[in-house]
């Protein structure tokens, strides 16, 4: 079984691109994943790819510094450059979850999860107003069973 699960922050803004055959969309991004060894923090910068709906939703909702979880597959390939072999490791994201709201990202408070928004499904937006307290919310519908309110 080839499966990996990572939690980290996106290192730069997401740019949506077309595949070379023009049949789909993709994003490439680097995920900064920290680990701790004793008193020392070590950060690994892991190259990742996401395709189609996941890529489109990432480009729409995420930016540099966004905290996400990525579940996917490890890809390993070797190439020869000037007679030296290089091993290149990347992650292909099968599932991406948004782990914090934009308003929490700007603060130094502890991270409050936002119901793990799944970015793999097509998303529809609706805006509505509550008559009782005049608060406007945006409802993001991820599937028939799952919806999340943002304020």
For the stretch 7-19, pLDDT in tens is 999 999 999 999 9
Q: Is 31 domain-assigned?
A: yes
Q: Is 116 domain-assigned?
A: no
Q: Average pLDDT, stretch 123-130?
A: 40
Any idea what the CATH number is for the domain that residue 18 is in? 2.40.50.140
Report the pLDDT value the prediction gives residue 40, as an integer from 0 to 100. Answer: 94
Q: Are 73 and 3 in contact (CB under 8 A)?
A: yes
Question: Which of 133, 135, 137, 134 shows the shortest CA–CA distance to 148?
Answer: 137
User: 54 pLDDT band (50/70/90 cuts)?
Assistant: very high
Domain that holds residue 86: 4-101
For the stretch 83-104, pLDDT in tens is 899 999 999 999 999 998 766 6
pTM for the full predicted model? 0.67
> What proportion of the chain, given as a percentage, has pLDDT over 70?
67
Rounded-to-integer distance, Cα 74 and Cα 116, Å: 22
Q: Is 14 domain-assigned?
A: yes
Report the pLDDT value the prediction gives residue 103, as an integer from 0 to 100. Answer: 66
Report the pLDDT value the prediction gives residue 24, as an integer from 0 to 100. Answer: 92
Backbone φ and ψ of 103, nearest 5°? -70, -30
Which DSSP letter does residue 130 get?
-
Highest-scoring range by mean pLDDT, 33-37, 97-101, 122-126 = 33-37
Q: Is 43 domain-assigned?
A: yes
Report the pLDDT value the prediction gives residue 22, as an integer from 0 to 100. Answer: 84
H or E element at residue 26: strand 25-37
Q: How many domains does the chain have?
A: 1
Q: Is 40 domain-assigned?
A: yes
Match 């007679």 to its residue by tokens.
83
């Amino acid at each position: 079984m080839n499966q990996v699960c990572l939690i980290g922050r996106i290192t730069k803004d997401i740019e949506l691109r077309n595949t070379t055959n023009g049949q789909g969309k993709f994003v490439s991004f680097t995920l900064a994943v920290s680990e701790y060894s004793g008193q020392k923090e070590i950060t690994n910068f892991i190259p990742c790819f996401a395709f189609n709906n996941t890529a489109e939703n990432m480009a729409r909702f995420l930016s540099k510094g966004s905290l996400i979880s990525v579940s996917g597959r490890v890809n390993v390939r070797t190439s020869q450059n000037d007679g030296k072999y290089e091993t290149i490791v990347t992650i292909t994201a099968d599932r991406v979850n948004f782990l914090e709201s934009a308003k929490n990202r700007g603060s130094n408070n502890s991270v409050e999860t936002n119901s793990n928004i799944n970015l793999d499904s097509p998303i529809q937006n609706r805006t509505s107003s509550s008559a009782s307290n005049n608060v406007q919310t945006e409802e993001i519908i991820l599937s028939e069973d799952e919806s999340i309110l943002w304020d």
